[in-house]
Each structure stands twice: as C-alpha cells, then as structure tokens.
Amino acid sequence: MSEHDQQNPAEQYPQPGFPQQDQPHPGDTERMEPRPDHGEDSYRGTGRLEGRRTVITGGDSGIGRAVALAFAREGADVLFTYLAEEEKEAHETTRLVVEAGRRAVAVVCDIREEAECRRLVDLAVAEFGGIDVLVNNAAYQMSQPNSIAEITTEQFDRVMRTNVYGMFWLSKLSLPHMPEGGSIINTTSVQAYKPSPHLLDYATTKGAIVTFTQGLAGHLADRGIRVNAVAPGPVWTPLIPATLPDTSSFGEQSPLQRPAQPAEMAPAFVFLASQDASYITAEILNATGGTPLP
C-alpha cells in the first residue's frame, strides 16, 4: 500500500515506541530509527509552483527538507539555509532538489544575526532576481524538564533570536524584493496553544510567531502579499533525538497516537504558497494529528 492509497492515518507511518536514541545537537537523519520520510518516494508535483523563487530557512533536514523537495517537484527553485555542522544534511537536500530538475542554492547562514539575514536576502536576489515565497522554518529548542531555573539567559537568547528575530529580519528584508502574489509562510507549533512545561521558551516563541503572522498579514494585504503559518504537532525530525530526553514514546500523546513524518507537513506549505490559497491570509493551518486547537 502506498502513501496515496486510502488508509487509516494512525497506521500509515511508524508508531511509538521507537528505540531510545540520543544525539548531539543538531541531530543526524541517517542515525534516526525509524528513518524520517521526507516524501522522497511519494511526493508527486503538479506544477503548482512553476517558476517560483523560494527561500527556506532550515532546509537541510526535517520539515525544511520535505518542503524543499515538494517545492522543487512543484516547479520552484530553492535557496535554503543550513548551519555549518549540517553540511552532510544540506548535500542531501541539494541532491533531491536537483534531481527534481530545479536550481538548489545551499547557504551556510546563522539567522540569529541581522547581517547574516541581509546577506541571505542579497544572495537570493542575486541568484534568482527576487523572492516569491519565503518560508521561515528554522528553529531551535532544548528541553529543560525541571523548572524555569534551568533555562539560562544564553539558551533563552538563542531560542528567541533563532525562532523570532530571524523570522522578523528575513520578512522585513525580503519584502522589497517580493512581488504582488508573493507569500510568506512561518512555522509555528501546537506548542503555541498547548505549551509543554519543559519547552517553555520554545513554546513562547511559537506563540509569538502566531501573533506576528496574523499582524503582518493585515499589514501586507493591500500589497497583495499573503502571510500564513503552519502549526505542526509532533514531527519525527533530527531535532527530537537531539533535544528531548525520551524518544521512545514521542508522538503517542496525539489523537492519532504517533508523530507526523516531515512528508506529511510539506503539502500544507505547498498549498499556502500556491495560487490555490489566493483568498487565504492571516491563517494558521494546524497539522497536529487531531489535537484540538483554538
């Protein structure tokens, strides 16, 4: 049975318990068991993003890789960011985009720095001539299971600058190069609405992303630029074994009783980037496996 056949979604992908696995940050896809599915063998493009010039932060692995693959198979060129320690992962994303027949530009970039965000936008304009779709996807989290006292200022600053500041700078800097019909898509989380105590600082940023998305959408509506966000529930990505203490039961709390695979998130981003979503802005598309949200 393939991913396209009608079936019980709770049984479509691996269910907990997974083998307990711990990795140093930022994690390694190759070492994960089970191996995440990014849509390598299943995603079928239909030309919905033909010729779009797209920028994706954190495109080396996880949701970002799945989105880059899907965008390329829909006809888009892809510039994506990664950290220096993620070079092996970035090579794989590049391979998938090129195999789809589209341009791949992989950029080492630390979006915690405004100058780096400016360099990234300048590079995208130099490579593509403009930006049609910006996906603010890169994120950092680190579990602190006991109390707020464990969250250092250094950690709090890293989470805020990665998840919120980078999104703000890239959105602001990209807009002069974005035409009518352009789209900004942010990645928030179920944590924005149902925060886990051990992810207090991360959940705080995800709430901020919801507010930023809805506010910026109103600001840009008269320019014909849409701003939306995707709110995933638990997703099986390298960030999980790299930042959480228990991987064996990850995702079992969702009504579908399993985590999502990155491939299951990508269609939401494709839809919001495409002209199919022409009347959708200021929206949060929840992909939480059934967890009810406001």
Catalytic residues: 202
Long-range contacts of 195-199 (CB under 8 A, 24+ apart): 197/145, 198/143, 198/144, 198/145, 199/141, 199/143
Task: Give the list of residues 6+ apart from residue 268 with CB closer than 8 angstroms, or none.
Answer: 230, 285, 287
Determine contact, residues 236/262, Cβ cutoff 8 Å. yes
- Cα–Cα distance between 240 and 250 in angstroms, integer? 8
Helices 114-128, 166-174: inter-axial angle, 10-degree rounding: 40
With beta carbons less than 8 A apart as the criterion, state whether 262 and 62 touch: yes
Nearest partner of 260 among 13, 2, 8, 30, judged by Cα: 13
Which residue in 223, 221, 229 sits closest to 163, CA to CA?
229
Are 95 and 65 in contact by the 8 Å Cβ rule? The answer is no
Output DSSP code: residue 5. Answer: S
Q: Within the chain, where are the H helices?
A: 62-73, 87-99, 114-128, 153-160, 166-174, 200-220, 239-243, 262-273
CA torsion through residues 229, 116, 29, 140, sign: negative
Report angle CA 115, 118, 203 to the nearest 5 degrees.
Answer: 80
* Rounded CA separation 289/10 (Å): 9
